[in-house]
Copies of this chain bind each other. A is one copy, B any other.
């Protein structure tokens, strides 16, 4: 059972990739009390399997509403309220059981509860397994955009069990695969080619497992080098600059995060094509893989200028400078903050409502 160790500057912790649910000897141990945070659906599916595996003085459960639109301060207050009401102390442990929304919020809530207590993450979606649960970025959305309020708080352990994927809707698996494509395009040419040529059913958890491992291993390497995202970690935002605007404009409801990222990668590829960073054939190959994975949703931009202005609200923009992560061929990337507005507008126009009508 492989265990990856993440050695970030602020903490070292294991990512345990194994059959956690069906392993009678696998336990999560808290030094004092434990608070499991989950959403109604995941709690109904898995709480009866997880609770007996927690060894703590007392175990409490907090259920927050599901969905990106509830990743807000109100849910954080709900988690904190539950922790205080049940007198968790500084040796207590929070346990995130759910997707990226849950792990982002539990990382944040545990990071500010009595100035930080520990948390472990049990990601139940593919997206959370390959991306959100590793790396310590936590936070919530607000009216101005995604993940604008938060902090860096590394978990003390992450448990990855492919078993959770068996109950995951296909749409969510596809969404998670977008993040797999993202890291492969930026960091791993051979991995991308393996995905490209695979004839297997990508919705099958056993087929997915090696790609999960590969993605986590890449992310671990990136986080180790650049925990606070001053350099290389920015590559993990490939597609995200566009995706954040798409998600905001659709109120986090129309697309899953991964679906928006897939659209965003297509937009970034278009920009990379214009700048000569990517070749037409390479862009087509990425597009083909996304299509085969069912990640070919469209988002016709209705107001190009409004979309462009929204970039400046993103927390990565600084001094009216936009920074884009663009693929440099397949398996490499570059960060560009010098792209002229007309080039960006050209890409946005390419994906506009008008050009799609034609």
Residues of A whose CB lies within 8 Å of any CB of B are: 32, 57, 73, 77, 80, 84-85, 87, 89-91, 108, 111-116, 137, 139, 142-144, 147-152, 312-313, 315-319
CA distance A97 to B142 in the complex (A): 26
**In the bound complex, do residue A114 and residue B315 qualify as a contact, i.e. CB atoms below 8 Å apart?**
yes
> Quick check: A116 and B152 within 8 Å, CB to CB?
yes
Complex partner residue of A114 from B84, B148, B312, CB under 8 angstroms: B148
Tell me, in angstroms, the Cα distance from A339 to B115 when the chains sit together: 26
Least CB distance, A50 to chain B, in whole angstroms: 24
Partner of A91, one of B32, B144, B147, B319: B319
Task: With A84-B144, A319-B91 as known contacts, state yes or no: A113 contacts B149, CB within 8 Å.
Answer: yes
A36→B46 CA distance, assembly (Å): 48
> CB < 8 Å: which of B87, B91, B150, B319 contacts A313?
B87
In the complex the two chains form, is B148's CB within 8 Å of A84's CB?
Answer: yes
CB A78 to nearest CB in B, in angstroms, measures 12
Identical chains in the assembly = 2
CA distance A85 to B32 in the complex (A): 41
Q: How far is the CB of A296 from chain B (nearest CB, A)?
A: 32
Enumerate 21 A-B pairs (CB-CB under 8 Å) in ascending A order: A32-B318, A57-B319, A80-B142, A84-B143, A84-B148, A84-B313, A85-B144, A89-B317, A89-B319, A90-B318, A91-B318, A108-B112, A111-B151, A112-B112, A113-B148, A114-B315, A115-B139, A115-B147, A115-B150, A116-B151, A151-B151
Chain B, residue nearest A315 (CB):
B114
Which B residues lie within 8 Å of A113 (CB)?
148-149
Given known A73-B77, A80-B142, A84-B144, contact A112–B319 (CB-CB < 8 A): no
Does the CB pair A115–B80 fall under 8 Å? no
A89 touches B318 (CB 8 A): yes
B residues in contact with A143, CB < 8 Å: 84
Which of B87, B111, B149, B319 makes the CB contact (< 8 A) with A32?
Answer: B319
Which of B84, B91, B142, B151 is the one whose CB lies under 8 Å from A84?
B142
**Cβ of A177 to closest chain B Cβ, rounded Å:** 26
Contact assessment for B319 and A151 in the assembled complex, using a CB-CB cutoff below 8 Å: no
Q: With a CB–CB cut-off of 8 A, which chain B residues contact A115?
A: 137, 139, 147, 150-152, 315
Which one of A90, A148, A149 has the greatest number of beta carbons of chain B within 10 Å? A149
Q: How far is the CA of A80 from the CA of B140 in the complex (A)?
A: 13
A168 CB to nearest B CB, Å: 28
Contact B315 A90 (CB under 8 A): yes
A351 to chain B, nearest CB (A): 25
Q: Contacts A84-B142, A89-B317, A108-B112 known; list 13 others, CB within 8 Å.
A: A32-B318, A73-B77, A80-B149, A84-B143, A84-B313, A90-B318, A112-B139, A113-B148, A113-B149, A114-B315, A115-B139, A115-B152, A151-B151
